[in-house]
Chains A and B, each alone.
Chain A
Amino acid sequence: MAEAIKNRYEFVILFDVENGNPNGDPDAGNLPRIDPESGYGLVTDVCLKRKIRNYVQAVKEEQNGYKIYIKEETPLNRSDNLAYEALKTDDKKIKEAKKNDPDIDLKIRDFMCSNFYDIRTFGAVMTTFVKAALNCGQVRGPVQIGFARSVDPISTQEVTITRVAITTEKDAEEKKTEMGRKNIVPYALYRAEGFISANLARRVTGFSEEDLELLWEAIINMFEIDRSAARGKMAVRELIVFKHSRELGDCPAYKLFDAVKIEREGDAGVPRKYSDYKVWIDNSAIPETVELMRKI
């Protein structure tokens, strides 16, 4: 397997949405997520990770070493019952295996990491057999992403639509159209922040330079393969990467994040396009040893 990365990284992703719903809130009838007190829009970390997984799955097509563990689609050759039976019988076998090979849990962990890109990147929770003292436990991946938040408070708009195809015969006799609703954000720019720990890459999952390049590629293109009726126009506008010169890093992460400034351009009352914002980086706040890369 390729060598693990040697530098700590932080990154800022700026992405925008136009007339779409970037991330629905299951608590609020699929309205775009919003912080009720401040009005800022939210996109959860898991939403972005899903897009990254989908991109890698689409590009690598289940190539060896680039499998995706948590898939969106149902795998064809899998039966839950079979897996369950296998687990029962294997539960005993695994105790024996543990006796014969004390490092079996590490081997299982490394096998998962080397085969699955998403485990290598984001980690995974493995069940633990406490009785067998087998502890693959929790694998923490090097890549950590926080919630994305909009730069300005957002407004959501409910768009009522009609359709002429009626689902049931009974309804068809009574009416000609059905009403539906879509919830959109007219425009919003979101900012997500992420961290990559070189230590976890080296000691646990073996996340390599090639994996890192694939991650950048996936982030840049994550919305390009995620078109749907609900999303509207979404695009990653900036991927700003800070590469520290050392494994442990050169300066606190918050200083780097604070150096990325987003300001409103012009006097448009309400931002409706990316050019209503200006993004600039305060280079004086960044130590010389930290390499700054704007990937887009």
Chain B
Amino acid sequence: MGYGVRVHVWGDYALFSRSEFKVERCSYDIITPSAAEGLLEAVYWHPGCRWVIDKIYVRKPIQFTSVRRNEIKSKVVPGNVLSVMKGSGKDISISSREEIVQRASMILRDVDYVIDAHFELTSKANDTDNPGKFKDIIMRRLRRGQCFHQPYFGCREFPARFELYDQEVVDTAYPDERRDLGYMLYGFDYTDPKDIQPMFFRAVLENGVLDLRDCEVLR
């Protein structure tokens, strides 16, 4: 393979929302492959490359805690913005007192993963792009702690610390154990931008390692 990297990521909290509980959010037991991709994309991404997650090592026991916060339920409505851009003097701001909702989140605490991933070149790679170049940039950024923006665990309020992991053996929280985590979100299929489809897979932790190579993806 050769173009693989092994990254150590850890943090105080994490929230990988289950798609079935996204109003009062509840996290999956571990990081999802798409969240791991997002994490790596925060460090380095280019239209000419695509991250593929191979393995996720779970290094700390799975622990939950709950946080309830005041949130707002509305979003920016482009139609309204457009009318203001055209000169109507409407106030388009959101009043948090009117739009308030209290929502609980079940979040993970004290998370620590090692991610094995590699990248593939896409059709958008141009002539000067080659795997060696991408690999060099990625390794440099990981060694120096550089990133496009600070990676995060599911939500931006849960920042992820990251470093290059250079050891052969990765210890996990669940050696000699098989844990079935049930169906998890694998990611989204964006091939048709007008019909974005979620993809799921059966997550099984073998000795604390989630192996995503050759895993069956269900749509």
A residues bordering B, Cβ < 8 Å? 25-27, 33, 35-37, 42, 44-46, 50, 67-78, 80, 83, 86-87, 89-91, 93-94, 97, 104-105, 107-108, 111-112, 116, 119, 124-127, 129-131, 133-134, 136, 140, 142, 144-147, 149, 193, 195, 197, 199-200, 246, 248-255
| Contact A126–B69 (Cβ < 8 Å) | no
| Contact A108–B82 (Cβ < 8 Å) | yes
Residues in B whose Cβ lies below 8 Å from that of A97: 82
Residues in B whose Cβ lies below 8 Å from that of A124: 75-76
Which residue in A27, A116, A248 is a CB contact (below 8 Å) of B68?
Answer: A27
| Contact A71–B13 (Cβ < 8 Å) | no
Residues in B whose Cβ lies below 8 Å from that of A255: 145
A116→B98 CA distance, assembly (Å): 19
Residues in A whose Cβ lies below 8 Å from that of B193: 133
Contact size class for B?
35 or more
**Closest-CB distance, A289 to chain B (whole angstroms):** 11
| Contact A146–B159 (Cβ < 8 Å) | yes
| Contact A251–B144 (Cβ < 8 Å) | yes
| Contact B78–A134 (Cβ < 8 Å) | yes
| Contact A144–B152 (Cβ < 8 Å) | yes
| Contact B94–A127 (Cβ < 8 Å) | no
A251→B144 CA distance, assembly (Å): 5
Which residue in A26, A78, A112 is a CB contact (below 8 Å) of B95?
Answer: A78
Show 27 residue pairs from A and B whose CB-CB distance is below 8 angstroms, ordered by the A residue: A26-B68, A26-B70, A26-B102, A35-B65, A44-B157, A70-B96, A71-B93, A71-B94, A83-B80, A93-B79, A94-B78, A94-B79, A112-B81, A116-B93, A119-B76, A126-B77, A127-B78, A130-B194, A146-B13, A146-B157, A146-B159, A248-B147, A251-B144, A252-B144, A252-B163, A254-B161, A254-B163
Instruction: Give the interface SS of chain B, mostly helix, strand, loop or mixed.
Output: mixed
| Contact A46–B147 (Cβ < 8 Å) | no
B52 at the binding interface (Cβ < 8 Å): no
| Contact B159–A195 (Cβ < 8 Å) | yes
Residues in B whose Cβ lies below 8 Å from that of A25: 68
| Contact B159–A69 (Cβ < 8 Å) | no
A26-B68, A112-B76 given as contacts; is B94 within 8 A of A69 (CB)?
Answer: yes
The CB with the most chain A CB atoms within 10 A, among B94, B96, B102, B145, is that of B145
Residues in A whose Cβ lies below 8 Å from that of B162: 252
Q: How many residue pairs between the two chains, A and B, have CB atoms under 8 Å in the bound complex?
A: 172
A248→B66 CA distance, assembly (Å): 34
A72-B97, A78-B95 given as contacts; is B76 within 8 A of A86 (CB)?
Answer: no
Which residue in B77, B102, B149 is a CB contact (below 8 Å) of A83?
Answer: B77
List of 8 A-B pairs having minimum Cβ-Cβ separation, nearest first: A252-B145, A90-B79, A197-B149, A195-B150, A248-B146, A126-B76, A45-B157, A254-B161
| Contact A252–B161 (Cβ < 8 Å) | yes
A124→B159 CA distance, assembly (Å): 18
| Contact A144–B159 (Cβ < 8 Å) | yes
**Closest-CB distance, B94 to chain A (whole angstroms):** 5
**Closest-CB distance, B141 to chain A (whole angstroms):** 7
A67-B93, A87-B79 given as contacts; is B161 within 8 A of A44 (CB)?
Answer: no
Residues in B whose Cβ lies below 8 Å from that of A75: 91, 93, 95
| Contact A108–B85 (Cβ < 8 Å) | yes
A219→B73 CA distance, assembly (Å): 26
A70→B82 CA distance, assembly (Å): 18
B158 at the binding interface (Cβ < 8 Å): yes
Query: B143-188: which residues lie under 8 A (CB-CB) from chain A?
Result: 144-150, 152, 156-159, 161-163
A124→B94 CA distance, assembly (Å): 11
A72-B97, A93-B82, A108-B85 given as contacts; is B147 within 8 A of A249 (CB)?
Answer: yes
A234→B126 CA distance, assembly (Å): 55
A83→B93 CA distance, assembly (Å): 11
